[in-house]
């Protein structure tokens, strides 16, 4: 098994398969970066395989070969046509047309929808009709890292299969096996950002969290010196997840506090930490926020705190009042 944290759900699948209690629809949830879709596809391949063993699909039969080639007539993977975009009603309609045909090669038909929360409202409504009258011998797997964004009517018709993020030591070992060089202290910083998902951790580590972190350190200095242009800086932060940015800044400011600044500086840093924490709270509590506005507000607040700190040189006791 490529990903050790898939084991519990894979065993759960084998159990219901052997007992012939496979549900019509599964909603597989868990943090982004657990390779949930890979497991959903492995389940689909097993269900379609003509000669499955007790533990895995055979990988050799006609069905497995077609599946590996992405050309199995009884299987459908529905994803947004472009990364980050929605899943449209036409895609769900195409699924329903396909469902009305009988299986070609295998005894089952399988559908994987990923990320399911990207379905438009009309696509969800269309899928709901299929869930209300599920066709026989059909397995539908919805994969989502944000299931709360799915309509309750859809969620209630699926069996929930939550995938847990692995323990720290499992993640650390797995990353080492993949050749990702990560120190225990880096892991401690990145772990909450990635919600413990190893592939997300790997991505953060390899694709720029270090670069991002350097840029943010410089930006923070500019903000604190009052030399930043919040509009331009907000644009440069735009590609990044705001929560990730705030968590990195949080660690950066905390680091500065360990350098034993004087009382005025320390007071200023604590106020910036307050700002970061309220921004994190704001962003975490809503799916629908104005990122540009929140980012600019944050920058202006940091500049204001730094400016008042520099002018007044206020001692810590005064600032904390």
Given the rule CB under 5 A, which residues bind Zn ion? 49, 57-58, 61, 64
Rg of the chain over CA atoms, in angstroms? 25
CB of 105 to Zn ion, least distance (A): 10
Q: Which is nearer to Zn ion, 44 or 216 (CB)?
A: 44
CB of 150 to Zn ion, least distance (A): 32
Under DSSP, the state recorded for 285 is T
Query: Closest CB to Zn ion among 63 and 256?
Result: 63
Closest distance between Zn ion and the C-beta of residue 24, in Å? 23
Q: How far is the CB of 99 from Zn ion (least distance, A)?
A: 22
Distances (CA, A) of 229 to 264, 295, 317: 24, 12, 31
Helices (H) and strands (E) in the chain, counts: 15, 5
Nearer to Zn ion, 64 or 197 (CB): 64
Q: Which is nearer to Zn ion, 61 or 233 (CB)?
A: 61
CA distance 126 to 260: 60
Q: In angstroms, give the least distance from the CB of 59 to Zn ion.
A: 6
Q: Least distance from C-beta 64 to Zn ion, angstroms?
A: 3
- Picking from 226, 181, 184, 227, the residue whose alpha carbon sits closest to that of residue 202 is 181
DSSP for residue 225: T
What is 70-127 written as a DSSP string?
T--TTEEEE--SSTTSPBPHHHHHHHHHHHTSPPSSSS-EEEEETTGGGB-HHHHHHH
- Give helix 242-258 / helix 263-284 axis angle, nearest 10°: 160
- Closest of 104, 117, 116 to residue 77, by C-alpha: 116
**CB of 234 closer than 8 Å to CB of 301:** no
Pick 67 or 298: Cβ nearer Zn ion: 67
Quick one: 58 or 105, whose CB is closer to Zn ion?
58
Q: Which is nearer to Zn ion, 64 or 92 (CB)?
A: 64
If we measure between CA atoms, which residue out of 189, 185, 196, 301 comes closest to residue 247?
Answer: 189
In the complex, least distance from residue 45 CB atom to Zn ion, rounded to whole angstroms:
7
């Amino acid at each position: 098994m490529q990903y050790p944290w898939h084991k519990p759900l894979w065993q759960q699948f084998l159990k219901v398969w052997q007992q012939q209690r496979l549900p019509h629809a599964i909603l597989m949830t868990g943090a982004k970066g657990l390779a949930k879709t890979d497991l959903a596809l492995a389940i689909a391949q097993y269900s379609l395989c003509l000669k499955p063993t007790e533990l895995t699909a055979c990988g050799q039969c006609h069905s497995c070969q077609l599946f590996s080639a992405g050309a199995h007539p009884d299987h459908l993977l529905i994803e947004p046509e472009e990364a980050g975009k929605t899943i449209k009603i036409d895609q769900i309609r195409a699924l329903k047309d396909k469902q009305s045909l009988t299986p070609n090669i295998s005894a089952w038909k399988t559908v994987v929808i990923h990320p399911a929360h990207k379905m438009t409202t009309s696509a969800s409504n269309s899928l709901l009709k299929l869930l209300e009258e599920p066709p026989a011998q059909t397995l539908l797997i919805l994969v989502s890292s944000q299931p709360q964004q799915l309509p309750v009517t859809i969620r209630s018709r699926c069996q929930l299969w939550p995938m847990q993020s692995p323990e720290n030591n499992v993640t650390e070992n797995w990353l080492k096996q993949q050749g990702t060089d990560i120190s225990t202290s880096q892991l401690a910083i990145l772990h909450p950002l990635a919600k413990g998902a190893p592939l997300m951790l790997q991505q953060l580590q390899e694709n720029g969290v270090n670069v991002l972190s350097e840029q943010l350190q410089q930006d923070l200095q500019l903000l604190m010196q009052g030399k930043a242009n919040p509009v331009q800086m907000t644009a440069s932060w735009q590609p990044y997840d705001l929560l990730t940015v705030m968590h990195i800044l949080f660690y950066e400011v905390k680091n500065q506090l360990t350098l034993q600044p004087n009382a005025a500086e320390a007071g200023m840093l604590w106020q910036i930490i307050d700002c970061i924490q309220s921004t994190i709270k704001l962003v975490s509590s809503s799916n629908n926020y104005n990122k540009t506005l929140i980012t600019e507000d944050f920058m202006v607040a940091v500049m204001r705190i730094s400016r008042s700190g520099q002018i007044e040189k206020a001692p810590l006791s005064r600032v904390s009042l």
